[in-house]
Structure formats: structure tokens, C-alpha cells
Amino acid sequence: MIISSWNVNSVRARIENIKEYIKKFSPDILMMQEIKTPDETYPYDNIKSLNYESYVFGQKSYNGVAIISKKKLTNIENDIFKDKLKQSRIITADLKHKNKNIQIINIYTPNGNPVDTEKYDYKIYWLDNLIKKLNKILKENPNIIIGGDFNIIPTAEDVHDPKGYENDALFRLEIRKKLRELLSLGFHDAYRHMHSDKEGYTFWDYTSGAWQKNNGMRIDHFLVSNSLINIIKDVKINKYPRGKQKPSDHTPIELELA
């Protein structure tokens, strides 16, 4: 089983690239972030024509998350914790896999820049609430997979210019500590679990030739709970969509389960 996560940076603007990716790589589940459309203008028909079901928590012009799946998912929720700004940043579903009931959680964490503003405060608030909720969920179901755009660079090895990002909301020490707090609940960074010393950039800015120069960063992740770590077969960064015309600035990360 392949579960993919991709910040598509507008599902409508990127629909042809999304369709090509699905046809070429055929993930069982695709978790999308930053779809930038309300539910009523989401391209349901395009996705349905590829034999996928869509589960959508949209928002006009900004944010928005969706899960598409070859098989029907259950217990869809988009309000596992209250967001004071009511932004569309999280959607969850239950998946049956090898006699396990797995809860998949698709997240789009706030960017948080510029630092020392209400945007940064909101990122801290949002992460704190996510951590609190996950601590409760794990007591009810130990089988959790979190995927999405975390907007967190875990370590200096995960960004082309760590010195230049020291005071950025993606790499500030306080933010990296929040990721470690998440992991300490009982999760593994799936990509680093499989590839301890391999570059895994998932994002390249549109400016300054970042893609061509490989000036990237790893901010899209899968966190897998301890109970599932032994069924991870591989984790890959699929760079193919980033090289297309009019691409998202992110590329998919793919989790393969045995």
C-alpha cells in the first residue's frame, strides 16, 4: 500500500499535474494540503474519473486539506481540535490494513512567518493543540499515521542553508522542539527511520532558481506510531511532479506499507 502526501499549492491550478501523478504512480491514498478552494468548487469529478473517492475540508483561497483514496475510508473528521481561527488545516480518516484499524491524519501546519508576530504565535498555538489531541488519540488507538506539510525543518541536514534559516519560523529552535515533542508521544520520522543520511528535500522555492540549484528543504513528513514502524517498507521523495510545467513548489512524499 502506498500513502502519498503532497502540498499541491491549489488543487484547481494543479489539477492536470495531479491527474498525471495519479495515473503514473497510482498511490492508494493521496493526502493533499493547501488545496485553496472551498468544498463546493473542489474538482470532485476529475478525481472521481480516476476511480478515487474525495474527502475534503476546503477553504476559499487559502489552506484546505483533502484525502483521496481508491478504497472507501471511514470516520472522516475535520474538527479533532478547535482552531480559534477556524482555518481548514486538518482532516482525519480510518483505514483498514492487515487487520489493523489505522487512523490517518492529514495536516497543514501554519507557516508562522514572520516570527514574533501573531502568525508565529498561531503556529505555536496550533502545534500545542495538535500535541494535546494526539496524546489523547494514542490512548484510544495506537495505530496512527500523520502526513502532511508540517512547515518544520527537523535538522540542519534537512535544509540547504541552515545558517540562513536560524530565525525562520520553519527552523527556529522552539519550533523544532515542538516536532521533537510530537515524536516523543510515540512516533517515528518515517523518512529518517528508513534513510538516516540521505537528502530528502520536499520543497524548493519558486525564486532564485532554487529547483535548478537544489536549494531545498525537508518540511513534508510522515510520522508513524511505534506500533506500525515494523510495517514500513519504504519512504520515497518523488521529484517527478516538481519538474513539470507550472508545478507546486512541493513534491510528493510516499510511504509504502508492507
Note the residue count of the chain. 258
Domains of the chain: 2-257 (3.60.10.10)
Per-residue pLDDT, averaged over 133-152, amounts to: 97
- Look at residue 188 in the predicted model and tell me its pLDDT: 98
Confirm if 92 and 80 have CB atoms less than 8 A apart. Answer: yes
User: Residues 64-91: what's their mean pLDDT?
Assistant: 97
**Cα–Cα–Cα angle for 251, 256, 258, nearest 5°?**
180
- Residue 29's pLDDT band (cuts 50, 70, 90): very high
Res. 199 pLDDT band, cuts 50 70 90? very high
pTM to 2 decimals? 0.97
Looking at residue 98, what is its pLDDT?
Answer: 87
Give the pLDDT confidence of 73-82 residue by residue, as tens digits: 999 999 999 9
What is the rounded distance in angstroms from the CA atom of residue 163 to the CA atom of residue 87?
31
Closest CA to 150 of 186, 121, 112: 112
Residues 45, 184: Cα–Cα separation, whole Å: 41
pLDDT in tens, 174-198: 999 999 999 999 999 999 999 999 9
pLDDT of residue 244: 96
